[in-house]
A and B are shown apart, each in its own frame.
Chain A
C-alpha cells in the first residue's frame, strides 16, 4: 500500500506553492540598496589577439561608474580547474590560465573583455557599445581533429591543443589489443555525442555586495553549490578568506550541471563591489547564456566490442576525443575521464576494457558536466555498439544483453575499470521492462504502423551510473582538488519543531519536501514540523552541493547521521526526566518510554527540557538539542535500469515520432515516488532532446550557429510521449543509511540510446541498411541516411 506520509509517501512538493504563485525568490528578484549594474563586452570573434581596449568613450557616458578590463585583474588569480588529470605517461594535464577578463587574447565568441558598471542596466549596455576593442582576428579551430592536426592554437603557450591523453586502465592496453585481434567477432562503431547547451529556465545572475565597515563580501548567485563557489572564488581567484565572504544561492531555476561551476561573472561582481564599495548586479540575457554557460557532451568516439561465437563479451576498447572548449571549466577534466571511463563496463561482464581519451582545446565555449556528465557518453556508445553487434550476429538485442549481464548473485562486483558495484539485479529490471513496455506486442504495433506508411522500430538499452558522488579518499587519489562529503545540521527548536541546515542545494529537486519526510519519520513527528534551509554559506555547514545525483545519497545520509545524534542525546534527556537508566529508554513514534513500563515522556517535553533546563543534569549534559554531521560515503551508488522506446519514422520526410517510452529503474529505496517519477520524466525529456533535437552547432569560424531558440531545438511537450516509469525493482544501496542510490540523472543517461536504437531498428526493418545516425537524429539526417 502506498504510504500517506514519511519515507515512501508521495508527499506533494511544498516548495511548489511559492514557485507556482510567483513568490519564489530568485537571484534576479533580489536587489541590494544602491546597486549598480554591469554589462559585459564580449568577443565577437572566436580567436584573436587583443591588441587594445579603449574604454575612454564608455567611461564618459551617462551613468557609467567604472569600466573594468583584463588589466584590472593582473594581480588576481584566474578561474581554477577543480580536477587534475594525469595522462598515460604520468604527466599532468595542460592547464592554461583562465583570466576573469581576457588578457592579450580572446579564445571564444562570448569571452569577456570588459565589464561596464553603470547606474542602470540600460546605461551599462549603452556604454558597452562604446568600448572599442582592437582585435587581430586569427583562424579559429572548432573541430577536434583539426585542433589535434596542426590547426590554430587556442593557447599559444602550450604549443598544442591537447590537454591530456588519458589511458584507463593503461595496464590493460596490450591485453585488450590481443583480445580484439583474436576475437571471433569485433563490432566497431564511430559516433559523435552531440554538444548540448544546458538551457536552465533561469539564466545566470550574480550580485556582488560589500560592506566596508566589516570588510565582508556577499555574493548572491545562481549556484548549485554555494560553499564550492566560496572556496574557489575566495581562495583561488580573489584571495578572500571564508569568514569575510558569504555566498548565497537562493531559489535557483534549474541547473543541470551548468550552475556547479565558478564563472567569471561571479568573480567580477564580487571584485567590482569591493572596488566601488557598492553592490554590482549582472543578469544574463538568454543570448548571453548560449555563449557563456558551460556546454555539455561533445565527444567523438570510436568503440570496438569483441565477442566470442556465442555472443559473450570479451573486450571493449574505446577511443574518444573530448572537447574542452577554450578554457578548463571547474570540473571539465573529470567528465570524460573518471565519470566516463569508469562506467564503460555498463551492466555487463566484460573481462578487458581499455579507454583512451584525448581532451582537446578549441575556440568554443568551455564544456563541462551536464546532467549525467560522462555517463551518458559511456552509456550511449556502449549500448549502441551492443545493438550493432546483435544485428551483425543476428541475435536478439535483449538476449545478447541478458547473456552478458552481471548476475544478481555476483555482487559486490569489481569491474575492470576500477569501480565496485555494490548491488543490482539487471535481469529483474529487464524483466520489468519487457512487461511494462509490452515488448511482446511490438510486432502487432509495427504492422499497424506499416499500414499507415510508417516504419516502426523498437529500441532497448540498459544503463548504469555511478552516483552519490563520492568517496573523498577515492576522488582525491583520482585528482579531485576537493572533498565530496556532505553535511547537515539538525536544529531541534524548543517546542519540538525541527530546522535542518543542509549543504545540499535544491534547484528543482524538491529537497524541501523529501528531506523532511526522512527526518519526520525518524523522529515520529509530522513532516510539517520539519523545515529545510539551504543555499547560504552563512547558515549552513560546509557542504559540497548538489550534482551527480548525490543529494539524498550523501546529503540525506548526513542528515540521518545528525538526526541519530539528536535521538541519542534526547534519550539521555528522557532518561533523566523518567528517572531511568539511559539503556532502558526506547524511542518510538515520537515518544520516549522506559522499556517494560508504561512510563513515557513525549518528544515535545524532551525538547522543551533541552532549552528550559530547570530539571536537567547540567553537570553531565549540555542544554540544547542541535547536532551536525558530515557524511563521506564509502563508495559510489550504482543506479541501473533498462529502457525501451518505440518510434515511427516517416520514410518520405525522415521525421521521427516517439510513440512510447518505458523506463524500469532500480534506485534502491525511494523516499518520494512522485518526485522520483518527475526526475525520471525530466531526464528522459532531456535525453529525447539530445537524441532528436538539440545540437550546439559551430561554423568553421567559431560562430555558434544555434545561438537562439530559433535554431537550437529544445524538446517541447508534444515531442515527448506519455512516459511509463517504474522503480519497483529495488536493490537497496548497501553502504548508506537510507539504502538510496539517487535518481536525478538516470533519465538523461538511459534514454538517448533507446531512441537511436529504435530509429535504426525502424530503418533496418524497413530495408534501409543505415548502421548508425549521429544525434540529433533530425529529419534531414534520417532522410540523408535513407537516401545514401
Chain B
C-alpha cells in the first residue's frame, strides 16, 4: 500500500467537495479497493470514505420499490429487504462471506461493476434506478462494460431503487476459488414480462439475455427456455471454465431461477 490521505466526511456535500480534489478516490466497503491498494495496483492521493454519511445508510420499502441507500452493507440490505423482496435479500445474504457482507455495500458493488459481481444482475433484471448526487440513471444505461459504468468523475451513487417484481429468483453458480459468480442469473417477472440478467459470463460484464426474456414472455416456465442456446461468443473463458461451459451454465441457471420463482 502506498501512503494516502484519508477523509471520512459525515455529509454528502463534504464528500463531494473532497472527491473533487485531484486523485481522490471514493471508498465504500473497500472489498475490491483495499486489496487493490495492498497490492500497490492503485495510488490515490486521498481516500474519501462514504461510510459515515447517515443519508447513505438504510433500506426503505414502499410503493412497490425497495430503496437501498448506497453505503448499506450487504448484511443490512439482506435484513432490510427480507420481507418485501426476498430474492434480493437472498442475493445480498450470499455475497462472499460474513466479513465481506459486513463491509461491502450495494453502491460499491454497482460502481465497481465487477463482471462477476451479484448486485449488477439484480439491478439490471429489475430495471432498477441508480440515483447519484447529480441524476437518476436506469440500470439499462448504467452498466457500460466490464468494470465500466455511466458514472462521471466524482459522481457518487446515493441510492438504488429496485422495483419489486411479482416473482424473482437469483441462481449463482460459484467459481470454486473466489466464490464470485462463475455464472449468476437473476430472473424477475413483472406481469407477463420477464427480465433476465446474467453476471459472471460475459467479457462485457452483466447483460440481459433478451432471447430468454422473449421466450418467457407470457409463458413463464422453465420449459420455455428449452429450445434456447446462448452463443459462447464474447463469453469469458478462463481456468475455471470455458466460454461454452458458461453459455451452458447460463441456460441451466436461468431455468432453475424460473423454476424457483
Contact = CB atoms under 8 A, between A and B. Distances in A.
A713 B176 contact: yes
A764 B9 CA distance: 61
A780 B240 contact: yes
Interface stretch (B160-168, B187-195, B199-207, B242-250): B242-250
Given A653-B173, A712-B177, A778-B176, A705 B241 contact: no
Contact of B177 (A125, A652, A709, A779): A709
Interface in B221-245: 238-242, 245
Chain B interface: which size bin?
A: 10 to 19
A695 B238 CA distance: 13
A711 interface: yes
Given A653-B173, A653-B252, A780 B241 contact: yes
A655 B245 CA distance: 12
A692 B241 CA distance: 14
Contacts of A780: 240-242, 245
Nearest to A126: B2
Contact of A784 (B39, B178, B239, B245): B245
A783 B176 contact: no
A364 to B, nearest CB: 15
A697 B239 contact: yes
B177 A711 contact: yes
Given A653-B173, A711-B177, A783 B239 contact: no
B239 A693 contact: no
A709 B178 contact: yes
Interface in A114-143: 125, 129
A287 interface: yes
Q: Looking at chain A's contact residues, is the secondary structure mostly helix, strand, loop, or mixed?
A: loop
Nearest to B246: A780
Nearest to B39: A287
A693 B249 contact: no
A706 interface: yes
B240 A778 contact: yes
Given A697-B239, A780-B240, A713 B177 contact: yes
Given A693-B176, A712-B177, A779 B241 contact: yes
B41 to A, nearest CB: 11
Interface string B142-162: 000000000000000000000
Nearest to B241: A780
Contacts of B240: 711, 778, 780
Interface string B78-111: 0000000000000000000000000000000000
Nearest to B176: A713
A218 to B, nearest CB: 31
Contacts of B173: 653, 655, 779
A453 to B, nearest CB: 11
Contacts of A695: 239
A706 B241 contact: no
B37 to A, nearest CB: 13
Interface in A612-652: 652
A20 interface: no
Given A652-B252, A778-B176, A779-B176, A705 B245 contact: no
Contacts of A713: 176-177
A780 B174 CA distance: 12
A541 to B, nearest CB: 43
A470 B142 CA distance: 65
A779 B173 CA distance: 10
A451 interface: no
Given A287-B39, A709-B178, A713-B176, A653 B239 contact: no
Contacts of B39: 287
Contacts of A712: 177
Contacts of B176: 692-693, 713, 778-779
B103 to A, nearest CB: 17
A783 B177 contact: no
Contact of B249 (A287, A653, A697): A653
A784 B245 CA distance: 8
A201 interface: no
A710 interface: yes
Contacts of B178: 709-711
Nearest to A125: B40
B38 to A, nearest CB: 9
A655 B252 CA distance: 12
A780 B176 CA distance: 10
A654 to B, nearest CB: 8
B239 A705 contact: yes
A713 B241 CA distance: 14
Contacts of A697: 239
A474 to B, nearest CB: 41
A287 B39 CA distance: 9
Given A287-B39, A779-B176, A711 B249 contact: no
Contacts of B239: 695, 697, 705-706, 711
Contacts of A714: 177
B94 to A, nearest CB: 12
B242 to A, nearest CB: 7
Contacts of A783: 245, 248
B155 to A, nearest CB: 28
A710 B248 contact: no
Contacts of B241: 778-780
Nearest to A706: B239
Contacts of B249: 653
Nearest to B179: A716
Interface in A698-724: 705-706, 709-714
Interface in A659-681: none
A695 B39 CA distance: 22
A783 B252 CA distance: 12
Interface in A528-572: none
Interface in B51-103: none
Nearest to B183: A653
Contacts of A692: 176
A779 B174 CA distance: 10
Q: Which of A711, A778, A780, A784 has the most CB of B within 10 A?
A: A780
A62 to B, nearest CB: 12
Nearest to B178: A710
A205 B257 CA distance: 48
Contacts of A653: 173, 249, 252
A446 to B, nearest CB: 23
Interface string A452-471: 00000000000000000000
Nearest to B251: A652
A282 to B, nearest CB: 18
Contacts of A779: 173, 176, 182, 241
Interface in A3-20: none
Nearest to A705: B239
Nearest to B242: A780
A655 B253 CA distance: 13
The winner among A652, A706, A712 for most chain B CB atoms within 10 A is A652
A18 to B, nearest CB: 25
A535 B238 CA distance: 43
A705 B237 CA distance: 13
B60 to A, nearest CB: 34
Interface in A734-788: 778-780, 783-784
Contacts of A125: 40
A712 to B, nearest CB: 6
Contacts of B177: 693, 706, 709-714
Interface of B: 39-40, 173, 176-178, 182, 238-242, 245, 248-249, 252
Given A709-B177, A780-B242, 4 more contacts: A652-B252, A711-B177, A713-B176, A714-B177
11 contacts: A125-B40, A129-B40, A653-B249, A655-B173, A695-B239, A706-B177, A711-B239, A778-B176, A779-B176, A780-B241, A783-B248
Report the 3 A-B pairs with minimum CB-CB distance, sorted nearest first.
A713-B177, A780-B241, A713-B176
Interface of A: 125, 129, 287, 652-653, 655, 692-693, 695, 697, 705-706, 709-714, 778-780, 783-784
